[in-house]
Amino acid sequence: MKRHPKMLLFALMILTAAFFPTVVICAPSSQQKAVTEEQETDYGEEEYKEYETASKEPNFEKRGTMLLEFMQKYPKSSLSTAYARPAYENLLRECFEAKQFAALEPLAEKWLKLNPNNIQTLGYIAEAAQKLGNKQKYVDSLLAIYAQDPRGSYAVDILRTYREMKNQEKIDEWTDKILKMPEYDTDFGLRFEFVQKFMAEDNYPKAAHYATLTLKSVDLVKEPSKDVQDQLRKVRYACHLVIGMNDYKNKKFADAIRSLQAALKYERHGEPYYYIGMSQWELQQIEEATLSFACAELVGGDIAAQAKEKLEKLYKEQHNDTIVGIDKIYRKAKEALGK
């Protein structure tokens, strides 16, 4: 099933360009520092030199430490507000662009303490945590971002991370959230993943639940391409088969027959014919059951031998323990299959 997950680069490059234009944060010029009779600077020469030294430090981590110390030492200085803060934000961007994630993570965390809930900073932390393999920090950052900007792409990344962490409680919680989002109404692949997951666990009730949701999603797909049409056909077959098998296991034989017959509208395999036959047998529809078993055998596949055994057993029960004349059943089955 082909899907296009939206991994977190958060359009950070785009956001960065918007918030931080590509210019070097410059120290005040000598003209800006000049004292006039009308206007006086609020910082001295020593303070300016401290800022200049910090802002020009080539080592990312040292520069971050020096800038933070400068802002703490001179919190009301115009150098702090107009220059040191942008310089630190520019530092985070440089780390991100240079892919220096080991430096970016602690630098961004320190900045977040001074600027709580800043989405840009949370994005840097999330990106660094993901690249460094820290899934818990990654998902915590995503959750903080989602709390302010509850878009579906973030929710999908959160769900995907919880699945990697095998946190089933959170998987269920975020699956429910996503499936209620209108933008994912047609994402049949997301729903079908859970059909496959629960079938692998032999959990037919859960698989049937998601199969029903998948079919509803499939019906909303507009103007699918040829490749998508092929996917939809296979998904519809599988979902009707799963629902039919769940009904069969719950002894809802009439419902099982309807669902299994619906599956055969999309794909022709032996399993639906076989379990239609088993359901008909349970409902004492003997003639119909023998025909269904014959169809299952003729279609072939893993179930063919089992279908042949059931057909002969059922036929013998009705014909004095002999299979003489069983060829008539096969002829009818061939006609029904269009062979």
- The 10s digit of each residue's pLDDT in 174-183 is 988 999 999 9
Q: What is the domain range of residue 72? A: 1-21+45-179
The reply to whether 131 and 260 lie within a common domain is no
Please tell me whether residues 189 and 127 are part of one structural domain: no
Residue 26 placed within a domain: no
Provide the strand spans (E) within the chain.
Answer: none
Do both 54 and 117 map to the same domain? yes
Domain identity same for 54 and 106:
yes
Q: What is the DSSP string of 187-251?
A: -HHHHHHHHHHHHHTT-HHHHHHHHHHHHHHHTT--S--HHHHHHHHHHHHHHHHHHHHHHHHTT
Q: Reduced to 3 states, what is the DSSP secondary structure of residue 36? A: coil
Is residue 305 over pLDDT 90? yes
**pLDDT at position 142, please?**
97
Whole-angstrom CA distances from 180 to 32, 107, 186, 213, 257 are 56, 37, 11, 11, 31
User: Are residue 161 and residue 115 in the same domain, yes or no?
Assistant: yes
Mean pLDDT across 20-49: 51
- Are 198 and 101 members of one domain? no
Quick check: 34 pLDDT over 70? no
**Residue 68 domain-assigned (yes or no):** yes
Lowest mean per-residue pLDDT among 3-12, 295-304, 325-334: 3-12
Looking at residue 299, its amino acid is V
Region for 137 from its dihedrals, namely left if φ exceeds 0, alpha if ψ lies in -120 to 50, beta otherwise: alpha
Which two tokens mark 80?
A: 């702090």
Together in a domain, 156 and 7 = yes
**Do 172 and 80 share a structural domain?**
yes
Is the pTM above the cut of 0.95?
Answer: no
- Do 79 and 135 reside in the same domain of the chain? yes
Looking at residue 43, what is its pLDDT?
81
Instruction: Give the model's confidence band at 41: pLDDT under 50 very low, under 70 low, under 90 confident, else very high.
Output: low
Query: How high is the pLDDT of residue 13?
Result: 31
Residue 37's pLDDT is what? 33
In a domain, 211, yes or no: yes
Q: Are residues 228 and 251 in the same domain?
A: yes
Domain edge (last residue) among 264, 280, 315: 264
Considering only the C-alpha atoms of the chain, give the largest distance between any 2 of them, rounded to a whole number of Å: 122
Q: How many helices (H) and strands (E) does the chain have?
A: 19, 0
What is the Cα gyration radius of the chain? 33
